[in-house]
Structure 1
Amino acid sequence: MTVTRRKLGLSGPEVSSIGLGAMGMSDLYGPADDAESIATLHTAIDAGVNLIDTGDFYGSGANEMLIARALRERRREDVVLSVKFGSRRAPDGSFQPVPYDVSPEAVKDRLAYSLRRLETDYIDIYRPARLNPQIPVEETVGALEEMRQAGYIRHIGLSEVGADTIRRAAAVAPISDLQIEYSLLSRGPEESIIPTLREHGIGLTAYGVLSRGLLSGHWSSSRELAGNDFRAHSPRFQGENLEANLRLVQALDRVAERLGATTSQVAIAWVAAQGEDIVPLVGARRRERLAESLGSAALRLDAETLAEIEKAVPAGAAAGERYAAAQMATLDSER
């Protein structure tokens, strides 16, 4: 399966209609296999997936170095690297309970380390992972624009910010895209964020399109999670919330069965069908899962099928918030 291309906003790059999120290859979803991760990255690129998303804090830099190893065997120009910065980690891997450092000074400092770890002289899309309310977004974007003008980054992105912040950022410099969680179980962006993006010609890269695995069709209430798997503390994976969410997935299963597709393929295709300006990111860590995800590109959801999907998983039907309360409080997109 070879994926097609989409333009990421008016000012952004042309990217594959499905992107690959690499976080789980190094962090937060339990044990990972570097060799299989690199093989998955190679398979994705060979299939035409050029958008690879990471963060400098994924595995405290290990994810960037993993991607660099994979790219040594590929042409740099065949890949669009999207990198987030700003989150802080302690030596034990825990996240520091401090505001995100997205100051102008941090922009340049963190960028320097990412360039070295990724073994490249430019990053295609560079973005703050979260907003720091104590640092005006204009200052952060101003520093990013300076780095863009200097050639160290090609495009400026945002992540998990609300409509007002999008407008303020866009007044400083061209913004290629907003990265935000968007799925059948996370419909919040539809109210004001997506209309604002379209007003300014900004694309959307949607992460969590399978709601951290809930919509994969492979989840069960008896599944045991590793100690470093953040889903062990995620409200949607707890007790009655999990049972309620799995009932929604069962309804989606029936739609997928009628279509001759898997549940995850339908969930991914639904996100892609919400607009040509939206690019779903899949977090496949193994070639098997990647192949399944890429199969969604062959699905064409007509109006009747989209209505059937909406009936199976109505907007607002998810049980539990997408993050624990402390993390939800850091999201400008939820205010």
Structure 2
Amino acid sequence: MNKRPFGRPDWKVREIGFGAWAIGGSWGNVSEQDAEATLHAALDAGVSFLDTADVYGSGRSERLIARVLKERGQGDVIVATKAGRQLNPHVAEAYTAEALMRFVEGSLERLQTEALDLVQLHCPPTEVYYRPEVFEALDRMVEAGKLKHYGVSVEKVEEAIKALEYPIASVQIIYNLFRQRPAELFFRLARERQVAVIARVPLASGLLTGKLRVDSQFAPDDHRAFNRHGEAFDVGETFSGVPFKVGLQAVEEMRAVVGDMPMAQFALRWILMNEAVSVVIPGARNPEQAVSNAQAAELPALSVDQMEAAKAIYDRLIRLHVHQRW
């Protein structure tokens, strides 16, 4: 798998990473045995970047990662975690130095490490990006050796652009066939500032696997069942904010563009066509999904015709629902 530079840190990461939300929680039941097998499969396939968060399964995802990496003795894997969503209420003024230190200490314990590779503010309220004291607190934690680098995970392009004013290492943002706006301006600005881009929700919560149907059923604890309208968190995290039936229609039209390759691999390869992306982090619930995701990096570059056709479907069916919202 190809490696890409990860912004200002002297890191090279393989371009397909692993998003560890699904093995933590909110995606239906995944046993610990299946979760560990999925992590092993991803790492065996060459993945070198794992993305997690302290709230994924209330720490379960971080603990699973620590256990698997300890078992493998693999010290060359970068683990990025996130902090902030434990706050209740989740408001800007709650992002204090004391709260962030508490979250970092918890992740250090669960990940069984002396210094976190990368801590990302976990989709904080927009006002946080206008509070320099929050980022100064993170600077002090770097100086204290608690973490090596920090970044942000954002909901909106505007938040991503504002975050570039701070000495961040990375921005994690939703970027996929159904969320194309980040490539218009933000990607260029990130490259100019040598800030890594982590592309999350690359398969639009499974829509872009091509396997969902209008009658697909989801477990009660799967966010695709309980967050269709943003009941629990930003609706853009579920199906990328695209109305389910509209997304299904777009996927059906995309099949003619995809050709013989699996839809999910096409969607991941489409993301990798943009050199501003440092790593894309698809999730997986079983080893087969993890391996298939990693194999997307081996596909040849998409053709101009495929790229233009995908853009046309986005413009006609999807843009109206998402483009200016995020």
Query: TM-score, normalised to structure 1's length?
Result: 0.84
Give yes or no for contact 2:19–2:50 (8 Å, CA) kept in 1. Answer: yes
Q: Identity of paired residues, percent?
A: 29
Gaps of 5+ in 2: 230-237
Quote how far apart the aligned CAs of 1:243 are.
2.2
Distance in 1, matches of 2:32 and 2:270, equals 30
Residues 36 and 307 of structure 1, relative CA distance in 2, 3 Å threshold: same
Residues 23 and 163 of structure 1, relative CA distance in 2, 3 Å threshold: closer
More moved, 12-21 vs 304-313: 304-313
Q: 1:203 aligns with which of 196, 200, 205?
A: 196
Residues 32 and 11 of structure 1, relative CA distance in 2, 3 Å threshold: same
1:1-335 alignment runs, 5 A limit: 3-11=1-9, 13-88=11-86, 96-99=88-91, 101-133=94-126, 135=128, 136-160=130-154, 166=160, 169-173=163-167, 175-232=168-225, 233-235=227-229, 241-256=243-258, 258=259, 260-299=260-299, 300-314=301-315, 317=318, 320=321
Distance in 1, matches of 2:136 and 2:274, equals 31
Residues 315 and 273 of structure 1, relative CA distance in 2, 3 Å threshold: farther
Give yes or no for contact 2:116–2:147 (8 Å, CA) kept in 1. Answer: yes
SS of the counterpart of 1:125? strand
Quote how far apart the aligned CAs of 1:319 are.
7.2
Q: What number of residue pairs does the alignment pair up?
A: 312
Distance in 2, matches of 1:277 and 1:223, equals 31
SS of the counterpart of 2:71? coil
Residues 87 and 7 of structure 1, relative CA distance in 2, 3 Å threshold: same
Q: Which amino acid aligns with 1:127?
A: Q
Give yes or no for contact 1:245–1:318 (8 Å, CA) kept in 2. Answer: no
Q: Which amino acid aligns with 1:244?
A: V
CA displacement, residues 208-264 of structure 1 (integer Å, 9 cap, x when unaligned): 110010111111111111111111232476xx93222111101222222x2x21001
Q: Which amino acid aligns with 2:90?
A: V
Instruction: Please tell me the root mean square deviation across aligned C-alpha atoms, in Å.
Output: 2.5
Quote how far apart the aligned CAs of 1:116 are.
0.3
Give yes or no for contact 2:122–2:152 (8 Å, CA) kept in 1. Answer: yes
Residues 153 and 84 of structure 1, relative CA distance in 2, 3 Å threshold: same
Q: Which amino acid aligns with 1:245?
A: G
Quote how far apart the aligned CAs of 1:67 are.
1.3
Give yes or no for contact 1:18–1:49 (8 Å, CA) kept in 2. Answer: yes
Quote how far apart the aligned CAs of 1:167 are.
5.8
Give yes or no for contact 1:6–1:276 (8 Å, CA) kept in 2. Answer: no
Distance in 1, matches of 2:308 and 2:81, equals 35
Residues 187 and 169 of structure 1, relative CA distance in 2, 3 Å threshold: closer
Distance in 1, matches of 2:186 and 2:223, equals 26
SS of the counterpart of 1:179? strand
Distance in 2, matches of 1:155 and 1:203, equals 12
More moved, 9-18 vs 285-294: 9-18
Residues 125 and 216 of structure 1, relative CA distance in 2, 3 Å threshold: same
